[in-house]
Chains A and B, each alone.
Chain A
Amino acid sequence: MSEPAARPKLEIRDLSIHYGTKTAVKNLNLAIAEREVLALIGPSGCGKSTFLRCLNRMNELIPAARQDGHVLLDGQDINARGVDVVELRRRVGMVFQKSNPFPKSIFENVAYGLRVAGLNDKAELALRVEASLQHAALWDEVKDRLGESALSLSGGQQQRLCIARALAVEPEVVLMDEPASALDPLSTAKIEELMHELKARYTIVIVTHNMQQAARVSDQTAFFYMGELIEVGATAQIFTNPGVKRTEDYVTGKFG
């Protein structure tokens, strides 16, 4: 278990998120340590994906969404006036449930964010693309076909390509929303193995419905229910001896 950093990478204070009159997240307080994997678990509609999306202001894209409270990244409020949301999303990258590569070459998918950020030097781009594909454990499988369409890759490879694309812009936090739910067990194992490696450099927050996956990949697990954070703790603790009855019922399958 890694020692908790003096200041958490992310700190959430009194956060509530509403969609119109419906409250999706209620008065949430949570600290996420640097270089730690936090898994968010809970039944559908419990607010975990909504919470994940507020960490890089993706909820702003949903017109009815309204938010109270604070999300601090390295102590800075990400919703403060003057924060550049593009820069924020570079620092806090995201990988989605469905892999969504651009209909471009493998190379261009990874280079895209770098080009947007103004990097055009060919040699530098090539280096960064290779490093990102290496980090995403995809390089060996695609190094001889970088010019081919990303859509020619398998589902598992596409998802790792999306991870490479997220890593290319050198984020500090990676948000993952069900990154392996559409993948076969081998591809899932590769993504999970990758998460263990990425932890050395990044802070990772993952939403997953697969509780064994949460147990396998995370250091801390947070259980959400009906918009509330019911319990957060060391993953081994949550899965062997949770402190709250509701958590116990959820991880043992006694819900509903």
Chain B
Amino acid sequence: MATHTDRAYERDLNKLREGLLAMGARVEAMIAECVLSVVQRDSRLAEHVLKSDVAVNRLELEVDDLCRKIIALRQPAASDLRLITTAVKIVTDLERVGDLAVNIAERAVDLNKSEPMPIYDDLPRLAQLAQEQLQNALEAFVKGDVEQAERVLKSDDFLDALFVKLFNDLLQLMMEDSKTIRRATSLLFVAKHLERIGDHATNVAEMVIYLVKGTDVRHPRSR
């Protein structure tokens, strides 16, 4: 790919990509940690997630600031313009993923103070799927790979189905033993947050398609 004649501009755009990827790597690790803190009942991992969130928030501010600077000073056009608009949007998605990981970590701290709950295999699977979805969306962003982004959009159904299954299993548990209601509700929230993380990954994937092709695939029924 041709580079910009103005190398300072090229550096700014690279810095922007790097900022987004740094955020992505950080929130991916947060997803893994927050779920482990539930599954392995390890509250120290939860503490680490809270710390990571501070770094993610700082990166969000940096990326937003850089986007404003590029718009004001460079008047980006064509693929550069699409990169900036994509960055402004996915930075919010990544920050939200960080917040959801924090919410899960907070639930973990709470759950770890109570009696252990049976953990269904579907919960770590859901976490793994959510993390993979985000990872694939970010990889599609790096490579400009539309097909990979489209696979992320298709795979969201698996997460949704898994969440519904978990929901029903936890409901069953609560009906059988009312003493589990408080903890099962917490686990239900954990599952819901993971499902939402998957939705943010699809948002990122949709923006990758826009970035590469210039076509907006969001909300097909609203057109």
Residues of A at the B interface (CB closer than 8 Å) are 211-212, 215, 238-242, 247-249, 251-256
User: Among the listed B5, B76, B214, which residue makes an inter-chain contact with A256, where contact means beta carbons less than 8 Å apart?
Assistant: B5
Q: Are B82 and A249 in contact, CB atoms less than 8 angstroms apart?
A: no
Confirm or deny: B6 has a beta carbon within 8 angstroms of a beta carbon on chain A: yes
B75 and A252 within 8 A (CB): no
Question: How near does chain B come to A214, taking the closest CB pair, in angstroms?
Answer: 10
Please state if B5 and A248 are interface contacts (CB–CB under 8 Å): no
Q: How far, in whole Å, are A215 and B78 apart by their CA atoms in the complex? A: 12
Interface centre among A212, A239, A248, A252 (most CB of B within 10 A): A252
| Main SS at interface, chain A | helix
Question: Are A251 and B77 in touch, CB under 8 angstroms?
Answer: yes
Q: Check B81 against A239 for contact (C-beta < 8 Å).
A: yes
On chain B, which size bracket covers the interface?
Answer: 10 to 19
Are B9 and A253 within 8 A (Cβ)?
yes
B81 engages A253 (CB within 8 Å):
no
Decide: A248 near B75, CB < 8 A? Known: A240-B214, A253-B4, A254-B4: no
User: B2-31: which have CB < 8 Å to A?
Assistant: 2-6, 9
Residue from B4, B77, B82, B214 whose CB has the most chain A CB atoms within 10 Å = B77
Is B79 at the interface (CB under 8 A from chain A)?
yes
Select one of B3, B9, B76, B79 contacting A248, CB under 8 A. B79
Q: A255–B2 Cα gap in the complex (Å)?
A: 8
* Closest-CB distance, A84 to chain B (whole angstroms): 42
Q: Are A240 and B78 in contact (CB under 8 A)?
A: yes
Chain A residues, Cβ within 8 Å of B9: 253
Is B169 an interface residue, CB under 8 A from the partner? no
For the complex formed, measure the closest distance between the CB of A43 and the CB atoms of chain B, giving whole angstroms: 11
